[in-house]
């Protein structure tokens, strides 16, 4: 397949050796590659230039968002390769799988109403932590027409341009927000049954998973607020409030009422029973999520932990929602919430190291 009409935009910050693997999977394949760096201190821009990528150093005096980085990459790509029709978006911690470009471009060639094609993203090191395995389970979604994609996807340039690209003010959930606007214009988002990328979440600790889930809640609240009741993530936002706020409040009210009415035996017993019933909803919900995850993994233990973490994650989502509302009430721009540690530094040549030391 002729890939001259396909361009790649990768973004990253201090991804280290993860970026090396990312670039190795796309550079030298006949496609123009743009790498957008967000003030890395590990020599990532020098590495990208040495591999043949066109590098954009994002202006970090302006509040950062991945959406702004992707838009900057789009502008550079259009400048250096005006004949590009399809754009492969790629996170700097991801490696593109062999054959994906051909499969995705073939779908866009054949189905003119499809704006975005995504596929199976897998975790590179699921064995390193349960949090990595849970992320891999999340990526394992069925093929077909979907409402949104993730950070790795091939997009039709005309459709992307029609809706004005990413909204730079969205700091989490920029892809679903873009997909919502695309679908409102009549475009389709398609997930196909094909291996797309290897991703390194690098989540080794509970704190990393918690911050990632807080970010998810922040982004969900942001995107939901932009489109009203018919938009994405409305149910996600409502679910977090139900399980992490309203049901716990209901349990406390029932228990407090029972203690206050202790002299009225029947009413007190009724309050305790109601509190027990509401409390029982939590393990039942965990079981429901676990059973729903069983078709996505053959490991029963992973499905159980997925159910438990999904339920615990409602509190992290609620924290993210509160942070979003607090920022908006204070008139602050959305905040970027990071959960990953920098990757292992890339191996730089003497020339690259010199360029880094001299700030070139």
pLDDT at 343: 55
The average confidence (pLDDT) of the chain is 89
Residue 359 has pLDDT above 60, yes or no: no
Give the chain's length.
360
pLDDT tens string 110-139: 999 999 999 999 999 999 999 999 999 999
Residue 176 has pLDDT above 70, yes or no: yes
Task: For the beta carbon of residue 73, count every other beta carbon within 10 angstroms.
Answer: 26
Residue 360 has pLDDT above 50, yes or no: no
Residue 29 DSSP one-character state: S
Percent of the chain exceeding pLDDT 70 equals: 89
pLDDT at 254: 86
d(CA 44, CA 33): 14
- pLDDT category at 229 given cuts 50, 70, 90 is confident
Residue 345 has pLDDT above 80, yes or no: no
**pTM above threshold 0.75:** yes
Q: What is the mean pLDDT of residues 324-341?
A: 74
d(CA 224, CA 275): 31
Angle at 96 between CA 347 and CA 220, to 5 degrees: 105
Q: Which of 306, 271, 279 is nearest to 292 (CA)?
A: 306
Residue 94: CA count within 13 A, CB half-sphere = 23
What token pair was written down for 47? Answer: 């590495």
Using only C-alpha atoms, the chain has a radius of gyration, in whole angstroms, of 23
What token pair was written down for 237? Answer: 């936002």
Q: What would be the CATH architecture of the domain defined by 6-203?
A: Alpha-Beta Complex (3.90)
Q: What is the mean pLDDT of residues 310-326?
A: 95
In sequence order, what DSSP letters do the residues of 228-291 get, joined into one string?
A: GGGSTTHHHHHHHHIIIIIHHHHHHHHHHHHHHTTTSHHHHHHHHHHHHHHHHHHHHHHHHHHH
pLDDT at 354: 44
The domain spans of the chain are 6-203, 234-329
Q: What is the mean pLDDT of residues 162-173?
A: 91
- pLDDT category at 353 given cuts 50, 70, 90 is very low
- pLDDT category at 297 given cuts 50, 70, 90 is confident
pLDDT tens string 29-41: 999 999 999 988 8
Residue 196 has pLDDT above 90, yes or no: yes
**Bridge-based pairing state of the strands 94-96 and 6-12:** unpaired
C-alpha distances out from residue 157 to 6, 188, 255, 335, Å: 10, 14, 58, 28
Q: Which of 97, 137, 135, 134 is nearest to 119 (CA)?
A: 97
What token pair was written down for 282? Answer: 């939590």
Q: What is the mean pLDDT of residues 259-277?
A: 75
Exposed / middle / buried, residue 192 (Cβ in 10 Å: 0-12, 13-18, 19+):
middle
Residue 171 has pLDDT above 90, yes or no: no
C-alpha distances out from residue 348 to 36, 41, 43, 97, Å: 18, 13, 7, 25
pLDDT at 167: 93
- pLDDT category at 54 given cuts 50, 70, 90 is very high
3-state secondary structure of 297: coil
What token pair was written down for 196? Answer: 């797309």
Q: Which of 120, 123, 137 is nearest to 193 (CA)?
A: 120
Residue 334 has pLDDT above 70, yes or no: no
Q: Give whichever of 130-144, 225-239, 345-359 has the largest mean pLDDT.
A: 130-144
- pLDDT category at 255 given cuts 50, 70, 90 is confident
d(CA 163, CA 181): 7
Residue 80: CA count within 13 A, CB half-sphere = 19
Q: Which of 260, 242, 259, 253 is nearest to 275 (CA)?
A: 253
pLDDT at 275: 87
3-state secondary structure of 227: helix
pLDDT at 161: 97
């Amino acid at each position: 397949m002729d890939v001259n009409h396909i361009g790649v935009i990768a973004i990253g910050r201090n991804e280290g050796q993860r970026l090396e693997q990312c670039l190795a999977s796309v550079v030298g394949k006949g496609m123009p590659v743009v790498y957008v760096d967000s003030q890395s201190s590990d020599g990532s821009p020098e590495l990208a230039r040495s591999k043949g990528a066109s590098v954009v150093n994002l202006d970090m005096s302006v509040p950062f968002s991945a959406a702004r980085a992707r838009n900057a990459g789009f502008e550079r790509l259009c400048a250096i390769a005006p004949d590009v029709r399809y754009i492969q978006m790629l996170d700097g911690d991801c490696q593109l799988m062999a054959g994906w470009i051909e499969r995705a471009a073939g779908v866009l060639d054949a189905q003119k109403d499809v704006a975005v094609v995504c596929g199976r993203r897998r975790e590179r090191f699921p064995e390193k932590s349960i949090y990595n395995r849970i992320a891999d389970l999340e990526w394992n979604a069925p093929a077909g027409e979907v409402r949104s994609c993730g950070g790795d996807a091939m997009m039709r340039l005309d459709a992307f341009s029609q809706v004005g690209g990413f909204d730079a003010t969205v700091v989490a959930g920029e892809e679903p927000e873009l997909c919502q606007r695309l679908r409102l214009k009549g475009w389709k988002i398609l997930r196909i049954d094909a291996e797309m990328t290897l991703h390194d979440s690098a989540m080794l600790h509970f704190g990393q998973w918690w911050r990632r889930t807080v970010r998810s809640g922040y982004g969900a609240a942001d995107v939901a607020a932009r489109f009203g009741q018919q938009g994405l993530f409305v149910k996600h936002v409502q679910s977090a409030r139900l399980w992490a706020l309203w049901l716990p409040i209901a349990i406390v009210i029932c228990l407090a009422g029972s203690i206050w009415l202790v002299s009225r035996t029947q009413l007190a017993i009724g309050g305790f029973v109601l509190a027990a019933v509401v409390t029982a909803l939590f393990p039942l919900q965990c079981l429901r999520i676990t059973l729903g995850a069983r078709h996505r993994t053959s490991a029963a233990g992973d499905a159980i932990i997925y159910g438990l973490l999904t339920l615990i994650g409602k509190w992290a989502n609620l924290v993210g929602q509160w942070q979003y509302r607090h920022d908006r009430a204070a008139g602050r721009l959305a905040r970027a919430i990071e959960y990953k540690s920098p990757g292992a530094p890339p191996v730089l040549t003497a020339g690259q190291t010199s360029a880094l030391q001299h700030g070139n």
